[in-house]
Amino acid sequence: MQLQDKHRVAILSAYALALHGFETLFPTPIPWLKPGFANIITLVALLLYGFRTALMVTLIRVVLASIFIGTFLGPAFILSTGGGLASVVAMGLSIKYFKNIFGTVGISLIGALFHNIAQLSLAYYFFIQRLEAVLIISPAILLIGSLTGIVNGIVSDILIKKLLKKETEKIQNVVHKTT
Partner 1 sequence: MADRLLFFLLISLAIAGIFVSRDALSKGSDVIIEVDGKPTYTLPLYTDRLLSVVGPHGDTLVEIQGGKVRVKEAHCRNQICVREGWVSRGVIVCLPNKLVIIVGGSNKYKKQGLDAITG
Residues that bind partner 1 (CB under 8 A): 20, 23-24, 31-32, 34, 36, 38, 69, 71, 75-76, 79-80, 83-84, 101-103, 105-106, 109-110, 113, 115, 119, 123, 127-128, 130, 132-133, 135-140, 142-143, 146-147, 150, 153
In this structure, how many other beta carbons lie within 10 angstroms of the beta carbon of residue 167? 12
* CA 75 – CA 123 distance, rounded (Å): 8
- The secondary structure of residue 128, as a DSSP letter, is I
* CA 61 – CA 58 distance, rounded (Å): 5
- Nearest CA to 124 out of 113, 112, 135 is that of 135
Quote the least distance from Cβ 58 to partner 1, whole Å. 11
Say how many residues make up the chain. 179
Nearer to partner 1, 53 or 119 (CB): 119
Nearer to partner 1, 12 or 19 (CB): 19
* CA 112 – CA 35 distance, rounded (Å): 10
Nearer to partner 1, 138 or 178 (CB): 138
Quote the least distance from Cβ 69 to partner 1, whole Å. 8
Quote the least distance from Cβ 155 to partner 1, whole Å. 14
Phi first, then psi: what are they for 82, rounded to 5°? Answer: -60, -45
Nearer to partner 1, 154 or 171 (CB): 154
Nearer to partner 1, 5 or 23 (CB): 23
Quote the least distance from Cβ 28 to partner 1, whole Å. 10
Q: What is the CA angle 76-177-94, rounded to 5?
A: 55
Quote the least distance from Cβ 171 to partner 1, whole Å. 23
* CA 137 – CA 139 distance, rounded (Å): 6
